[in-house]
Amino acid sequence: MIRLLVADDESLLRMAFRMVFDAEPDMEVAGEAADGERAALLARRLRPDVVLMDVRMPGMDGIEATRRIVRDSPRSPVLVLTTFDLDEYAFAALKAGAAGFLPKNARPEELLSAIRAVAAGEAALSPRVTRRVLERFAPQMTPPPALRDDRLARLTAREHDVLAQVARGLSNAEVAAALRLAEATVKTHLSRVLVKLGLRDRAQVVVFAYESGLVRPAADPPEA
């Protein structure tokens, strides 16, 4: 059973979410919050499997609440939902440690699939979409060089190669083809990368690769 915490300042929307989730045999709503501070508190208290987080709420917003939950309740991944389908919000959510980002007008099956993916420890935002967001906002990233070198030094040469390919948005099969490895071997290397770097999913791998300087933003395409 996937236990959910729903954080949104609109009570009718929380009610609608509850009706959808309670109709699923593998989901239940463990708690609701109307603001970010309450969401962070309930995440610590209830330890939900997934937190559904609105961005714009009174008091503490969803981005700051996500940051606190990732810090204080790391076993409760956050899926950010917003009516504002803008890259700026996706970037802020990913930087805060969210496991995914979806607009509120996503189809129910998309939302349910994303919840199940996040609960299983996967990212609900494809690496390619993550990379598109970071290509635009990577210049804002200025990590300390010492941190950058220390974390990358934990990886073997092959793990480093896999990290770089995943950060470019490649699937496991595509990484396997590029590096001439078995797909199962790629999965093993990626699992080790996640453990060594303390990352949760592929979306965080992409964020780390850009922040560390391993992957650079693509040059702007030439004007027509």
**Region 2-125: CATH code:** 3.40.50.2300
Question: Per residue in 112-129, pLDDT tens?
Answer: 988 998 888 776 665 566
Residue range(s) in the chain whose domain bears CATH number 1.10.10.10: 143-212
Angle 87-96/62-72 helices, nearest 10 degrees?
20
pLDDT category at 179 given cuts 50, 70, 90 is very high
Q: Residue with structure tokens 């996640």?
A: 194
Is the domain spanning 143-212 CATH 1.10.10.10? The answer is yes
DSSP letters of 116-155?
Answer: HHHHTT--SS-HHHHHHHHHHHGGG----HHHHHHHHTTS
Residue range(s) in the chain whose domain bears CATH number 3.40.50.2300: 2-125
Question: Per residue in 59-73, pLDDT tens?
Answer: 999 999 999 999 999
